[in-house]
Amino acid sequence: MQNGISSQRSPTSRLLLGLVITLAAVVAYASYITVQLAGLRKLQSEMVDRNRKDSLQLLRIQNDLNSIALAMRDMLDTTEPYPLTAWVAQFDRIHQDLDTGLRLEESLAVVNRSPEQRQFLNQSVVQFWDAVNRMFVLAEAGKDNEAREQIRLSLQARQQALSTAVSRLLVENNEGEQQAAVRIAQIYDGVQRQLYTFLAATLIAIVLTSLYLIRSNRQIFARLAELSGQRSDLAQKLIETQESTLRHISRELHDEFGQVLTAIGSMVRRAGNHTPEGSPLREDLKEVHEIAQTTLNNIRTLSQALHPVLLEEAGLENTLDWYIPNVERQSGLALHYEKTGKSFPVETSAGVHIYRVLQEALNNVSRHSGAREAWVRLKFLADSLGLEIEDHGTGFTAGKMQRGIGLVAMRERAELLDGTLTISPAAHSGTIVRLQIPRDKVEAHAA
């Protein structure tokens, strides 16, 4: 019982769990990619681009320091016709540009530059310009030789120290760019590995989900096949029970009530023969005899309708030859009956099912279609037996076709014979019911 319950359990909850896990993995991976991309943007904007701009300012500072070195070389040249004070304007211009470059460089300097480096550079620049001012003070006082000595002993050394410091900073910036490039490459490699891992995990999840779906579908279809087989068995048993009950009722009507009514009719007829001609009693007995005979005929018709004994005695073809005119007479329908092909004997149990399908189809025509005529075609084919019932009435709606118990019974009877039952609209209006059964399932073989 437990196995039966588990086989019927819906896989929806597990599939939803798998979907939630998959979505969570996608969200987590998307977050991971977002963080990595943010890191890349930070490296590129805050380190690489910033280092590049900082290097440009350092090159600017380096260029100013080189200009100062060239100026000091010219100032030490005693053959120059200009006095030392003539270089004040050039040094002021370089001073302003150098200060501007240093301010920009400090705003762009990388975070990992130590405070000692910043302090050394600033102090060195301040000391250099202090020495320059002292040199120009000496020159303005007419002490050119002492001023030149100041350039040789102090300014050139300070300028070289500043150039060395700036060069070192340029080297550090270059090393920082290389480290950033390495980190970017590592991030790309990590993202690539994670992408392959995520794709592999996704493929594995898809494969597992597909296998689970296949397994669940196989279990569901196996269960459906089992239920279909049980339904078929149940339908067969119900139909057999129904036919057995109808056969019993039919025989009771035919044998018991038929014999009683036959005896009553015979007794009334004999009594009438012993009654004088023209007497009221003779007329009453004659009327009772007619009533008994009419009732007997109705019982025989009802007996045949409940279970056509004629099928067992004369076969399907003769039974239909009797049944169709009888329905035409009782229902008022104009029935056009056609037979085609070379006839062959039909086994009795199969004939009962075919007869019931025709009976239900004609009942539907009479009760629901609104048509006043119908066409019945019995087709004896080389490999099958076909039966068609066509009317030009209102036709079926999809809802009625699904709910009608009579249609369900017709389909069950067709399946019991390994046949097919199709219900389709007629060419212009109405309905066509087609029953097709393999010949080897209906043909009666001689003993």
What is 81-95 written as a DSSP string? SS-GGGGHHHHHHHH
**Alpha-carbon gap, residue 447 to 440, rounded angstroms:** 15
For residue 144, is it within any domain? yes
pLDDT at res. 1: 39
CB atoms within 10 A of CB 279: 11
pLDDT at res. 6: 43
**Same domain membership, residue 136 and residue 11:** yes
* Residue 228 one-letter amino acid: S
Is 446 a residue whose pLDDT tops 60? no
pTM: 0.51
pLDDT at res. 30: 76
Q: Kindly report, residue by residue over 400-438, the tens digit of the pLDDT.
A: 554 567 788 888 888 888 899 998 887 777 889 999 999
For residue 404, is it within any domain? yes
Is 275 a residue whose pLDDT tops 60? yes
**Same domain membership, residue 318 and residue 184:** no
Write the burial class of residue 116 (CB in 10 Å: 0-12 exposed, 13-18 middle, 19+ buried): exposed
Report the percent of the chain where pLDDT is more than 90: 10
Q: How high does pLDDT run on average in the chain?
A: 81
pLDDT at res. 338: 92
Contact 271, 288 (CB under 8 A): no
**Alpha-carbon gap, residue 121 to 105, rounded angstroms:** 11
**Same domain membership, residue 207 and residue 314:** no
Residues spanned by the domain of 402: 309-442
In degrees rounded to 5, what are phi and psi of residue 79?
Answer: -85, -10
pLDDT at res. 4: 44
Q: How many domains does the chain have?
A: 2
Is 7 a residue whose pLDDT tops 50? no
Give the pLDDT band (50/70/90) at residue 74. Answer: confident
Among 215, 246, 271, the domain-final residue is 215
For residue 237, is it within any domain? no
- Mean per-residue pLDDT for 259-266? 78
For residue 244, is it within any domain? no
pLDDT at res. 22: 75
Is 50 a residue whose pLDDT tops 80? no
- Mean per-residue pLDDT for 37-65? 78
For residue 254, is it within any domain? no
Higher pLDDT pick, 18 / 144: 144
Q: Kindly report, residue by residue over 15-43, the tens digit of the pLDDT.
A: 777 778 777 877 877 787 787 777 777 66
For residue 239, is it within any domain? no
**Same domain membership, residue 78 and residue 204:** yes
In degrees rounded to 5, what are phi and psi of residue 171?
Answer: -65, -40
Those residues with Cβ within 8 angstroms of residue 218's Cβ, 6 or more apart along the chain or in another chain: none
Domain with 131 in it: what CATH number?
1.20.1330
**Same domain membership, residue 94 and residue 202:** yes
Q: Kindly report, residue by residue over 98-114, the tens digit of the pLDDT.
A: 889 888 888 877 656 67
Is 385 a residue whose pLDDT tops 90? yes
Domain with 435 in it: what CATH number?
3.30.565.10
What is the layout of strands, in order, in the sheet containing 384-391? 334-340, 373-380, 384-391, 431-438, 420-425
DSSP 446: P
Give the pLDDT band (50/70/90) at residue 297. Answer: confident
**Same domain membership, residue 200 and residue 331:** no
For residue 72, is it within any domain? yes
Among 177, 196, 215, the domain-final residue is 215
Q: Kindly report, residue by residue over 315-341, the tens digit of the pLDDT.
A: 888 888 888 888 888 888 899 999 998
**Alpha-carbon gap, residue 249 to 157, rounded angstroms:** 133
Among 150, 184, 215, the domain-final residue is 215
- Mean per-residue pLDDT for 36-64? 78
Report the percent of the chain where pLDDT is more than 70: 90
For residue 230, is it within any domain? no
**Same domain membership, residue 425 and residue 323:** yes
Least confident of 31-45, 204-218, 220-234: 31-45
Between the ranges 33-37, 124-128, 281-285, where is the mean pLDDT highest? Answer: 124-128
pLDDT at res. 400: 52
Q: Kindly report, residue by residue over 335-365, the tens digit of the pLDDT.
A: 999 999 898 888 888 888 898 899 888 888 8
Between the ranges 12-26, 222-236, 291-305, 362-376, where is the mean pLDDT highest? Answer: 362-376
Classified as helix, coil or strand, 8 is helix
Those residues with Cβ within 8 angstroms of residue 303's Cβ, 6 or more apart along the chain or in another chain: 250, 251, 253, 254, 258, 309
